[in-house]
Amino acid sequence: MNLENTRQLIREQLAVSQNPVVACSFGKDAIVLLHLCLQERKVPVLYFKLPKFQEKNTHAYQVMREWDLEVFEQLPYTTSYIQIDGEREVFELYRTGRQSFLLLAISTKPRDGDRYLCAIDDLFCRPHAAVQDYPWDVTFIGHKACDPLKFFSDSGRSLDPVMDNGHTRQVFPLADWTDADIWAYIHEHKLPYDRARYELGDLRGSPDHYPTCMDCLDSATVGQPVMCPKQKTMIPSNARDEAYHKQFLEKFREVTRYIHAEQPEGVS
């Protein structure tokens, strides 16, 4: 990591941008990127959230208030999922052009207790926006080349720091940073971070991890009845087989660019 190179990339992109935005989850990487951008000029934030589990927005809203941020939200164009070899990824697409999208992964985990999302009702059938302006010509994203990806990366390919995507240019100033670089910067500049999440491993307040029931969408249940814990009765499976998911993945790889939610971490 070369901090001056990172700052220079941000300056260069801001110099040619009429309407930049920082995609920010207020996790550790995002807060570093936001701090770096705000040192150059006041830049608005694009924040993605779900309608339920409001406690997962507590840390983000606190930083929004303390830093006096201008914050925008958008509805996704669609929400879907892919399941291959037992691995599952839920994602939302945000339209940035006629055939171009930003892709945001939603890190789900098995339901635990009575509070959970129903994948169909709360994710796939939530309100969406078929037509929506994406007015930002530069989108800063805190994804790093060392971050793990599931389905939407090309094996062995490095992360390009600048990518054109529809009506926006995606910029990854932290592409060559490591987690150690991130934490060193946070501590040096005394940036706010969710201590319960990162120091205690408590993900209950993390906006990147939602307990979700996907029992009726598991490829192993194709053609079989499934017990629905919400309806407390057997229902038909809504799952697709893996052949469908593989075709679906190939279809969208060419029209999406990946924004990856941060992965769970142990106690730091």
Report the chain's mean pLDDT, rounded to a whole number.
85
Residue type, 168: T
pLDDT given at position 267: 29
Q: What is the share, in percent, of the chain residues with pLDDT greater than 90?
A: 44
Gyration radius (Cα) of the chain, Å: 19
**pLDDT for residue 60 is more than 50:** yes
**pLDDT for residue 260 is more than 50:** no
Within-domain flag for 118: yes
Question: Which of 61-75, 150-164, 221-235, 236-250 has the lowest average pLDDT?
Answer: 150-164
Q: Give me the phi and psi of 121, to 5 degrees please.
A: -75, -45
Within-domain flag for 120: yes
- pLDDT tens, position by position, 25-51: 999 999 999 999 999 999 999 998 888
Q: Which residues contact 110 (CB under 8 A, 6 or more apart)?
A: 211, 212
How long is the chain?
268
- pLDDT tens, position by position, 72-97: 998 888 888 888 887 888 888 888 87
Q: Region 158-165: what's the mean pLDDT? A: 80
Report in angstroms the alpha-carbon separations of 249 from 24, 130, 143, 246: 25, 20, 21, 5
pLDDT given at position 150: 62
Reported as a pLDDT band with limits 50, 70 and 90, residue 149 is: low
Q: Taking the model in full, what pTM does it have?
A: 0.84
Within-domain flag for 160: yes
Tell me how many domains the chain contains.
1
Within-domain flag for 268: no
pLDDT given at position 207: 76
Residue type, 247: Q
pLDDT given at position 94: 85
**Residue 226's domain spans which residues?**
3-259
Within-domain flag for 265: no
Q: Region 208-219: what's the mean pLDDT? A: 87
Within-domain flag for 29: yes
Question: How far is Cα 227 from Cα 98, in angstroms, rounded to an integer?
Answer: 40
Signed CA dihedral, 244, 130, 255, 141: sign only:
negative
Residue 207 belongs to a domain with what CATH number? 3.40.50
Instruction: Report the relative pairing of strands 45-46 and 20-23 from DSSP bridges.
Output: parallel
Within-domain flag for 180: yes
Within-domain flag for 264: no
